[in-house]
Structure 1
């Protein structure tokens, strides 16, 4: 399931902004499941809960505060550094290097950024395993955002000010439609990344965010092909 990008819609783009988890690597790699399990374990140990109750609370915090970390900070005053180090202690070999994606990102005209609710070291390890780390100009992580996660407006504005990004000249790639709402309001072109062979019947298990459909310009389940189409049009 891939919208074919209109290259003319991307001629003006000078800044390419990518979410990390389930965006730069495919959902089916299941890497984030390791982080998810680590977060559940952290909540269970912190609050002396069963894993079932910890899992329920973890998801409540995520929905209410944007990330589990933000919820734990707000309600329990935890040390964010310790949390981030713990949940990102995972096996990155689950990711398969993606030379096609790397070549496409490298050839995109302008600057390229990773903008993630995770931390920098996680982004670096992930991108390095994919073979694409060297193609990015910078990583804007949850620490750079002042620990305020997407989809809050503040981190987008902080990112844009830091890197002098003008919305009209930028495009954002995200796997959650609600995280494209602010970029869209800032004038960015928005691209939603969905799982490979995405079907409407998956909507109950995937955060499709139907209330944010108007914030999405394009939908693709193959980021490498989507970018390659743009690169090849620019080269023609």
Structure 2
């Protein structure tokens, strides 16, 4: 297994310190189902990339966007393998279509939805991502305006960082703590949450998903003031 040289620093979500290792320029291929879809909750590409680069000083992340097309994603997976990707992290368009994603020498981390034959999985305890209609911010503002009663919050940031840690762990051939076996695949499972207007700030603002300025600007300013949010 190709070893990446890792920075010596303590990570919040990575229990043991990853040990140093050496190598060339290890590549993590991130296959995104549809980067233009604001309702996607599986991955934050920027957070994922930052996490990989913070924990592996020679690693690079190459992102492929399937734009919602399963055939395109399958082609991108083969392209990633052909251009020497060392680990593939995939948010699948069609999980079953990726059952033979790559050759056996390239480990695959499924993110959001389990891919048959994947080596690792990061997702929700419920198994699949909920069907949502807009971004966290848009839905939270709808709650403030009274246009929605509840919203489903998926911890996209922590899931993105966890999948980055798993990818780097595979590069370094270093076990990552916290996983559990699910159908024979080592998995890291997170919980989604049903939020109301009363729990928006204690969850979304407290966890840095959005700010009060984001939530309470423009059309929502008066509603926020009435609710005591700003």
**TM-score, normalised by the number of residues in structure 1:** 0.30
**TM-score, normalised by the number of residues in structure 2:** 0.31
Question: Of Structure 1 and Structure 2, which has the larger fraction of its residues in helix?
Answer: 1
Higher relative contact order (CA 8 A, sep 6+): 1
Structure of larger gyration radius: 2
